[in-house]
Amino acid sequence: MDKNDILGVGITKASEDEILEYIIKKLEKTNEKITIFTPNPEIIVKTYKDPAFKKILNSADISLPDGEGVVIASRFMRKNIKKRITGVDFMVRLCECVSQHNIGVKRVASKDAKKLITTGFIGGQEGVAEEAAKCLKKKYPTLCVNMAKNEWSEADLYKKTDILFVAFGAPKQEKWICDNIQKLPVRVMMSVGGSFDVLSGRVARAPKFFQFVKGEWLFRLAIQPWRWKRQLALIEFIFLVASDFFRSIFKNRP
């Protein structure tokens, strides 16, 4: 899918609905492999210190603008990224689409399990992947979950999984996906960071007010003060965006 460049990292331009439709159609009609990453300002800043990580990020088929800072930067740099797509919200919507697909399959051909889209959850602290999968399964009963654990094992090589959600934290999860997408019987791999913690209820999601005013980062900082060091990356991101902007102006001056 088409991308726009933000500080050397490609960000997918399509809307959330367009991306979801693209993934489901690929799963229904092809055997192509798809990687989905979720760059936010902190992750983009990491690429300045790790060129290999930047190359991995740019290898993704889909890169969601997971961070209001990415959207604001795109507007500042006159790029066409209209709306933030958070990893956790996209993951939930993807599970919803998968569940709806499976309802249709069971209605038309209840015995044809091969057409069902299966999901897997890997990463996070002990037990959190299982809790996240259980919560999603409760919300979407036709969601097929054939794996939920904190670590990968050799036995999983024999489990067909259409969509695997990987929660190892950046950059480990992106590097793991890049190393394993072609080796494993998985068709879609998505990096989801701390999404399992949110879905399982171990970490509170920001109230609607904070989401509306784009202040989720402030809420998370309030409940997890140790994150203050990570917020320094946002300041660095702003500096890098401003530097890139003014550099382009002076470069284009006659």
Q: What is the pTM of this model?
A: 0.89
CA-nearest of 86, 64, 53, 58 to 14 is 64
d(CA 61, CA 68): 21
Please give the average pLDDT of every successive group of 10 residues along the chain, which has 254 residues.
94 96 94 96 93 97 94 87 93 97 78 80 96 97 94 78 96 96 94 95 73 62 61 85 80 62
Please count the other Cβ atoms lying within 10 Å of the Cβ belonging to residue 135: 16
Please state at what angle helix 16-29 crosses helix 87-108, rounded to 10 degrees: 40
SS3 (DSSP) at 3: strand
SS3 (DSSP) at 77: coil
- The pLDDT, as a whole number, for residue 104 is 87
SS3 (DSSP) at 130: helix
Contact 108, 114 (CB under 8 A): no
Query: Distance from CA of residue 231 to its chain's centroid?
Result: 20
- The pLDDT, as a whole number, for residue 211 is 65
SS3 (DSSP) at 14: coil
d(CA 225, CA 48): 25
> Which stretches of 35-156 are DSSP H helices?
41-49, 51-58, 68-76, 87-108, 128-139
- The pLDDT, as a whole number, for residue 14 is 95
Q: Which residues of 112-123 are buried (b: 16+ CB within 10 A; e: fewer)?
A: eeeebbbbbbbb
**What sign has the CA pseudo-torsion 246, 43, 53, 4?**
negative
d(CA 177, CA 24): 20
Q: How many domains does the chain have?
A: 1
d(CA 27, CA 189): 12
The residue range of the domain holding 121 is 3-252
- The pLDDT, as a whole number, for residue 213 is 56
Residue 197 amino acid letter: D
